[in-house]
Amino acid sequence: MFQPPGFEQQSVMTSLGRMVYYTATGVPWREADTDSEMETLVFLHGFGGGSSAYEWSKVYPAFATEYRIVAPDLIGWGRSEHPARDYKIKDYLTTITEFIEQTCSQPVTVIASALTAAFTIRVAITRPELFKSLILTTPAGLSDFGEDYSRSFFAQLISTPILDRLLYSTGVATSNGIRTFLEQRQFARSSRVYQEIVDVYLESAKQPNAEYAALSFVRGDLCFDLSQYIAQLTVPTAIIWGEKSQFTGPEIGRRFAKMNPQVIRFQHLEDVGLTPQLELPAVTIGLIRRFLQSRQLSTV
């Protein structure tokens, strides 16, 4: 799978197995061992067929000279272990917490996407001492404000034994299936999808047992109502939301921000879908940098 120049693969053990992550160790990012003196940025990818740390790989190298970068493949995704199990919300709340505890010695800024961003909010509520701030793209529990995703037609369909694996192998873990989803559902403009993205997603989707986490997600086993938690958040948070996100529109993000205006800053992006970090990485880098700078100014 894709690995930016100067980054190497490392790993830690969590309660559900080995969790791989990528961090800058070589030229052009490191001339000496300065990591211990640098603030850490943790980049967490979202969920979907073929998801991995690649999702942030066009963004995190831009911060590698100023920050220690840690970008993991979550359990069940990418190069991390893929236990053959029906994944539950607690699995990711636990392993995200364990990962931060093992890789970071000081409070960190986590930059996370989609459902994983929603999980991160819940971790930050229960363990605020682990965090300095959050920068989140399209954070949603996918059953927000009483909408129960698990009752949708597709979630019910994918819950059918045997049929679920057939749909995954023929409709998700194929080059055409991934490209179609990216072009029609994830990106605002299909012209922004290029072959490297499809190839890396496909490689991740074909990892042994990769279907378990993906099917748990699509069935709705990992979904919850984030609106029940958002007011409890105390960690300073910036939210970036693509105006053309099909699954969770920006009105949801605006409602979240209004529920906790002292903590949350909201920024919408026009002409972008679910993953601005892949679709418009340069714009996403600019916004992350602005949020980081404004956070630092507010503490002076």
Computed over every residue of the chain, the mean pLDDT equals 92
User: How does DSSP classify residue 182?
Assistant: I
Domains and CATH numbers, the chain: 7-298 (3.40.50.1820)
What confidence tens digit (pLDDT) does each residue in 14-59 have? 999 999 999 999 888 876 556 667 999 999 999 988 999 999 999 9
pLDDT of 148 higher than 90: no
Report the predicted TM-score, pTM, of the whole model to 2 decimal places: 0.94
Q: From CA 137, how far away is CA 273, in angstroms rounded?
A: 10
C-alpha Rg value of the chain to the nearest Å: 18
What pLDDT is stored for residue 165 in this prediction? 85
Q: What percent of the chain has pLDDT over 70?
A: 93
Q: Count CB-CB contacts under 10 A for residue 126.
A: 11
What integer is the mean pLDDT of 185-189? 95
pLDDT of residue 32: 59
Work out whether strand 17-24 and strand 68-72 pair parallel, antiparallel, or are unpaired: antiparallel
For the cut 50, the answer to whether the pLDDT of residue 79 exceeds it is yes
Token pair recorded at residue 75 = 């359990």
Report residue 299's pLDDT band, with 50, 70 and 90 as the boundaries.
Answer: very low
Yes or no: say if 102 and 235 are a contact pair by the CB < 8 Å rule.
no
Q: Say whether pLDDT at 146 is over 90.
A: no
What's the pLDDT tens digit per position in 223-282?
A: 999 999 999 999 999 999 999 998 899 999 999 999 999 999 999 999 999 999 999 999
pLDDT higher than threshold 50 for residue 83: yes
The length of the chain in residues reads: 300
pLDDT higher than 90, residue 78: yes
